[in-house]
Amino acid sequence: MTDMFRITAWIIGFLLTIFASYFVLVALFSLLPQKRKEKFPPQFKFAILVAARNEELVIGDLIDSVQNLNYPKTLYDLVIIPNNCTDRTQEIAQAKGAKIFECKSVIRSKGDVLKEYFDSILPQGDIYDAFCIIDADNLVHEDFLMEMNHAMGRGAKVGQGYRESKNPYDSMISSCYTIFYYMDDRFMNTAREILNLSALINGSGFFASMEVIRKHQGWHTTAMTEDVEFTAQCVLSGDRVHWVPHAIVYDEQPLTFSQSWNQRIRWSAGLLQCMKMYFTKLVKRAFTQRDCSSFDLAMFFLIPIIQVIVLAAVVWIIAYNLPIVWHAGLGHPIFVSRVILPIVYSYIVTTGIALAVILLEQKKVRKMLKGIFGFWFFIVSWLPINVACFIRKQTVWLPIKHTRAVKIDDLDIHKD
């Protein structure tokens, strides 16, 4: 039995090491210096689309930030799309001069909102060159559209901007989310831009050109994570998602663990949905067309499954060693080496990575300490979340309630 345990543990560990090594190797490329990229005068017309559901507390500040963009007013429109609202979202948006698009069908998700809008706008011709998707609780950096304009001038048809936080210091959870997005920005998207792979669209602060929207015949996503699904659709159609790091949006993060749990349940459920729909297609394209972006995205889709395997392995190791604990106590060398030390090492490594990414992104370390030291718990809590998604399908989108308004002049997210 001991030999079987060791062999099985070695095989699982070997496979997990290969999987993790791939992402570590890709992430290392983010440390390379980035080339200066060509800039262009304002030339592309954008529509900034905002799906809004009961956003009266934050919608006004978003509109103010958009109206102050460093981009010609004649080259962009802000379109607020209220849906299922029971508050003053539409009234406030109209009073501040935003255009309003009213949905006429039943809206269950952000994907439904975008589908109805594009179904309406496409027959009207090429009114816009591209569409930027922003969340209602965001604020937008003044150079956001200018940076997207530069990216389009360089040939990008789809681009993801930098996702910063509005409230990184409000709680341990919001701080952990902020670190998570820093890791996504740096180790995922920056690395992939350097490697000429496709970046990941992550919900807000991205653009898609009219050409791409027409190629896709509008917006057609059904998963709970419409951003990841649209990424897969772009990769499969040969449209690489570019990383536009200086196009910054400021996003409001959840404050409590229960809010975080509900949001990450939706993320994991949506990722599993995308994996079922697109994994085989991505693998096929990766090998038949030697498309590295397809292979890379297929690997990304495996993450929830790998996390469940990790959790199962940990539970198995603990259960296997319970007789040792029963007879010799928690201090037995075998139990310490197999259970206690791996947990300690994982905490040290995770905390070190959190600190490293904050330093790399030149953010305030002292204000982020609760996120740095709590990041291990945030990541580990994702393991039962993924298990829950395998056991019970999540089909209902649960909104996160906003607690306070933040103006762009109030932001304090720079280096010590």
209 forms bridges with which residues in the sheet? 130
Q: What is the average pLDDT across 29-39?
A: 89
Residue 414 reports pLDDT greater than 60: no
Q: Which residue has the higher pLDDT, 308 or 253?
A: 253
The answer, as to whether pTM is greater than 0.85, is yes
Higher pLDDT, 332 or 38: 38
For position 324, what pLDDT does the model report?
63
| Residue 306 confidence (pLDDT) | 85
Q: What is the pLDDT of residue 384?
A: 87
CATH at 27: 3.90.550.10
Residues 225-251 have pLDDT tens digits of 999 999 999 999 999 999 999 999 999
pLDDT attached to residue 84: 84
Whether residue 161 lies inside any domain: the answer is yes
pLDDT, residue 105, reads 86
The 10 Å Cβ neighbour count of residue 399 is 12
Give mean pLDDT, residues 344-348: 91
**Average pLDDT of the segment spanning 366-371:** 95
Rg (CA), the chain: 22
Mean pLDDT score across all residues of the chain: 88
pLDDT-above-90 percentage for the chain: 66
**Which uninterrupted H or E stretch holds 390?**
helix 382-391
- Please tell me the total count of domains within the chain: 1
Instruction: Answer yes or no: is 16 within a domain.
Output: yes
- Residue 17 domain-assigned? yes
Question: In angstroms, rounded to a whole number, what is the distance separating the alpha carbons of residues 259 and 377?
Answer: 15
Between strands 241-251 and 139-140, the pairing is antiparallel
Q: Are 171 and 369 in contact (CB under 8 A)?
A: no
From 52-61, 184-193, 305-314, the region with the lowest mean pLDDT: 305-314
Residue 168 lies in a domain: yes
| Residue 255 CB contacts under 8 Å (≥ 6 apart), including other chains | 167, 170, 171, 173, 174, 403
Per-residue confidence (pLDDT) for residue 195, from 0 to 100:
95
- DSSP structural state of residue 276: H
Predicted pLDDT at 307: 81
What does the pLDDT look like over 109-158, one tens digit per residue? 888 999 999 999 999 989 999 999 999 999 999 999 999 999 999 999 99
Beta bridge partners of 208: 131, 158
Confidence of residue 35 (pLDDT cuts 50, 70, 90): confident
pLDDT band at 376 (very low <50, low <70, confident <90, very high): very high
Q: Is residue 38 part of a domain?
A: no
Residue-wise DSSP of 58-99? THHHHHHHHHT-SS-GGGEEEEEEE-S--SSHHHHHHHTT-E
Mean pLDDT of 318-325: 66
Model confidence band, residue 70 (pLDDT cutoffs 50, 70, 90): very high
Exposure of 317 by Cβ count < 10 A (0-12 exposed, 13-18 middle, 19+ buried)?
A: middle
Say if CB 388 and CB 189 are below 8 A apart.
Answer: no
Q: Which domain holds residue 267?
A: 1-32+44-416
Q: Is residue 375 part of a domain?
A: yes
The C-alpha atoms of residue 264 and residue 286 are separated, in whole angstroms, by: 28
Domain membership of residue 37 (yes or no) is: no
| Averaged pLDDT, 358-374 | 94
| Residue of 184, 191, 179 lying closest to 32 (CA atoms) | 191
pLDDT above 70 (res 45): yes
Q: How many residues does the chain have?
A: 416
Helix 292-301 to helix 2-28 angle, to the nearest 10 degrees? 130
With contact defined as beta carbons under 8 Å apart, do 211 and 157 qualify? Answer: yes
Q: What's the token pair of residue 396?
A: 């209902």
Asked whether residue 366 is domain-assigned, the answer is yes
**Per-residue pLDDT reduced to its tens digit, 277-320:** 999 999 999 999 999 999 999 999 998 888 888 777 777 766 76
**Buried b vs exposed e over 125-154: b needs ≥16 C-beta within 10 Å?**
eeebbbbbbbbbbbbbbebbbbbbbbbbbe
What pLDDT score was predicted for residue 34?
A: 81
CA 321 to the chain's CA centroid = 38
Q: What angle do CA 275, 276, 279 make, to 5 degrees?
A: 50
